[in-house]
Amino acid sequence: MDLRSLQSRRDRRRPAGLALVVVVLAVGLLASACSSDFLRSDTHYQDEKGFTIDEDAKIEDTVEHREVIDVLLKYRNAIVNKDFGTLKRLVAPDYYDNGGTTDTTTDDYGPDKLDALYELMAKHAKNIRYDIVVKDVGVDGDHAHVDYEYKYAYQYTVGDEVSWDAGVEVNRLQLEHQGADWKIVSGL
């Protein structure tokens, strides 16, 4: 084999090696561009006043996480607007809550008692403010939860007396995939 044929062989291999490097780099860049991002308020929910994602939260940007967070957003907007039709559609028929206690069942309730709560809110609550900061989302098959902090303030009337109530709380909304939708099964 002479020098010219060796040089020719080397030149033919170089483009293949260079092409391989380019392909590997392109695949790497494409994979990083397509890999999951984290959900952020400033890019995903920037138009939603009173609804944010904690800047320290590491919630992957997935379809399921967005669907679960969207249920929380709909719930928040329904509370603020006293849209009880939407609230009813968000709640599962088998909704159950223990009222925050585990040592007694006297304060437990299901969907039947929610109607009475909606009526009480419709009759007495005015000027509702309900700001939410999403802290975490978890999805496991057909079950999900969303942890959030909420700041609330509402004006209410009882008889002729007008008062305000306000506070900051944390909560976990539990959801279940039923049919084509996520429904709230606990945590209101």
Domain covering 41-186: architecture: Roll (3.10)
pLDDT band at residue 104 under the 50/70/90 scheme: low
Task: Supply the Cα-derived Rg of the chain in whole angstroms.
Answer: 26
pTM here is: 0.76
For residues 48 and 103, give the distance between their C-alpha atoms in angstroms, rounded to a whole number. 38
pLDDT digits (tens, 9 = 90+) for 52-84: 999 999 999 999 999 999 999 999 999 999 999
Give the number of C-alpha atoms closer than 13 A to the C-alpha of residue 68, restricted to the C-beta side.
Answer: 31
Sorted by where each begins, the domain ranges of the chain are 1-35, 41-186
